[in-house]
Amino acid sequence: MLVEQNEIETTVVEPTDQDAPGKKARGFWRDLIETILMAVVLFLLLNAATSRVRVYNISMQPTLHEGNLLVVNKLAYKLGEPKHGDIIVFHYQGTVTEDYIKRVIGLPGDVVKISGGVVRVNGQVITEPYIAELPGYTGQWKVPEGEIFVLGDNRNHSSDSHDWGFVQQEWVVGKAIIIYWPLDRIRVLLSPSLVLASP
């Protein structure tokens, strides 16, 4: 009787042992497919919320240099409004094949005045520790509704609003938030509080 029980137990265990490799293989493929699907979903979500751009000119030096790679938050102005000091990417003159990157200086309703190397917004001098040099040009602009006034940090070597006018808000791609290349320049791009009264 004991022998019979052992024989029965042996026959019950054998199919389980034979089935284990098949179960392991099915588990592996299921895990692999789930991982790939998760990676695709995360990529699509990341791509919908951000874009990666390369800086091609010197107009934003010393903040941004040629060859810098940036992460741009494409949802920034769908969920909020531009602020003074934001670094933005936008379609130049609305042309989707040509993007520029500049700093927001004037918002709708602002009066921007540049003279004597000083930039004023609504009569207040703005502090700009990030610029390459003081602007060598003069002018005054009143920013219309739905538009913004932008300047490059490399003021005297930048094609920007002082040359060709305002940027329509609908042309804005998003806000530059991180430099991620080269590795020694990785940093978050903070928006300084620009409009500060000077004594």
For residue range 68-106, list pLDDT tens digits in order.
999 999 999 999 999 999 999 999 999 989 999 999 999
Domains of the chain by residue range? 1-51, 55-188
Provide, rounded to the nearest whole percent, the portion of the chain with pLDDT above 70: 85
Q: In angstroms, rounded to a whole number, what is the distance separating the alpha carbons of residues 104 and 194?
A: 10
| Residue from 34, 121, 41, 59 nearest 84 by CA | 121
- 55-188 architecture in CATH? Ribbon (2.10)
Note the pLDDT tens digit of each residue in 138-155.
999 999 999 999 999 999
- Kindly give the residue spans of alpha helices, DSSP state H, lying in the chain: 2-49, 76-79, 161-164
Known catalytic residues are 59, 102
Residue type, 81: E
Q: Tell me the average pLDDT of the chain.
A: 87
On whether the CB atoms of residues 179 and 187 are closer than 8 A, the answer is yes
